[in-house]
Amino acid sequence: MIRNQWYVVLESSEVGKSPVGFMRMGERMVFWRDESGRVVCHIDKCAHRGASLVPGAVLHGSGGSRLQCPFHGIEYDSSGRATAIPANGRAALVPEGFRLSTLPTHEARGFIWIWWAAVGSAPPAPPKFFDDIPEGLSWSTRRDPWDNHYSRAIENQLDMAHLPFVHRDSIGRGGRTVVDGPGLAFGALGSSEPDLLVYVYNRLDDGSPPKAVDQVSRPRPDSGQKLEFRFPNLWQNYINERLRILAAFVPIDEERTLMYLRFYQGFMRVPVLRSLAHAAGNAMNLYIARQDRRIVNTQLPKAAGQGSGELLFPGDAAIMEYRKMRVRAGG
């Protein structure tokens, strides 16, 4: 996992009034909400004797919100600093070393991000989402666990050549095996545009050679459909103004990923019909994702693919660009 990045790691609904624990980024983490509802994240290891804080309690009072360790009752504030050690008495000063590793968090659009960096490192700005997803679109989520590095799952969503083979009975129907392009466009650093936009130009093999990236249009003149990627772990399939598929590729550790798959729609607004639309959309999303998962989980090595000796071809241009992003970011 690449440091100094904002990663989506959870959905907002997964953190309530009590502390909850998740494995993320290869680390055991504990999440809780302070009295204002703000999400707090620590590495889940009590400074005293390394116990998990997840079975503990969230306390609120005149001293603010604290997370209490279930082992010896040590209390930590939202910065991770211990404020009380019961065994020493309430009047005793707490040694400075009693502190949890704490990660900055951000919450928006039903997601929770953490700033994955050295302890004490402050993020330069909040993370960006996809500005072209209107607030008015309704959405629902399904979770899908994959047994590989999160970058492998991301690369799969930028891979045009696998569509007619892995998805021959779904989104790859029609046998369009030749990959023209794909069309690529890039957002400026820090801009509202996604970091990478991909336009798909797969076609039937008529004997003519594939067109190069600079020979296809960006965007497509005949369709608004595009793939959008925000580094380090957010992807969107922009189908049209009222229909989107979003995925957050959440790193559990070096060989496991949890994919949060969201179905966004704006064409069904009546509650019952909206629920049916989401059920159908989620079912299709999972079906397609599991077609991918069956193959991607077999890739070796399970860790990130760059530097592994893989042989890529021109149709892999979007994957190549993603790997360049990782190298520039220090991956």
Residue 190, pLDDT score:
64
Tell me the one-letter amino acid at 89. Answer: G
Cα 34 from Cα 37, distance rounded (Å): 5
Helix (H) or strand (E) holding 317: helix 317-328
Cα 110 from Cα 140, distance rounded (Å): 10
Look up the CATH number of domain 5-116: 2.102.10.10
Helix (H) or strand (E) holding 282: helix 271-296
Helix (H) or strand (E) holding 259: strand 256-265
Q: Which residues pair with 300 in a beta bridge?
A: none
Q: By C-alpha distance, which of 57, 48, 250 is closest to 144?
A: 250
Residue 189, pLDDT score:
65
Cα 179 from Cα 211, distance rounded (Å): 8
Cα 83 from Cα 237, distance rounded (Å): 47
Sign of CA dihedral 318, 324, 326, 328: negative
Kindly state the DSSP code that residue 45 receives in the 8-state scheme: -
Bond from prior residue into 251 cis (ω within 30 degrees of 0): no
Residue 304, pLDDT score:
76
Q: Are 276 and 170 in contact (CB under 8 A)?
A: no
Q: By C-alpha distance, which of 252, 302, 304, 257 is closest to 26?
A: 252
Reduce the secondary structure of 142-170 to three states and give it as a string. Answer: EEEEECCCHHHHHHHHCCCCCHHHHCCCC
| Domain 138-328 grouped into CATH 3.90.380.10 | yes
Helix (H) or strand (E) holding 30: strand 27-33
Q: Domains of the chain: which residue ranges?
A: 5-116, 138-328
Angle at 145 between CA 312 and CA 139, to 5 degrees: 100
Can you give the pLDDT of all 331 residues of the chain as single tens digits? Answer: 899 999 999 999 999 999 999 999 999 999 999 999 999 999 999 999 999 999 999 999 988 999 999 999 999 999 999 999 999 998 999 999 999 999 999 999 999 999 999 777 789 899 999 999 998 899 999 999 999 999 999 999 999 999 999 999 999 999 999 999 999 999 876 677 899 999 999 999 999 999 999 999 999 999 999 999 999 999 999 999 999 999 999 999 999 999 999 999 999 999 999 999 999 999 999 999 999 999 999 999 888 777 778 999 999 999 999 999 999 998 8
> In which residue are the tokens 């070393």 written?
97
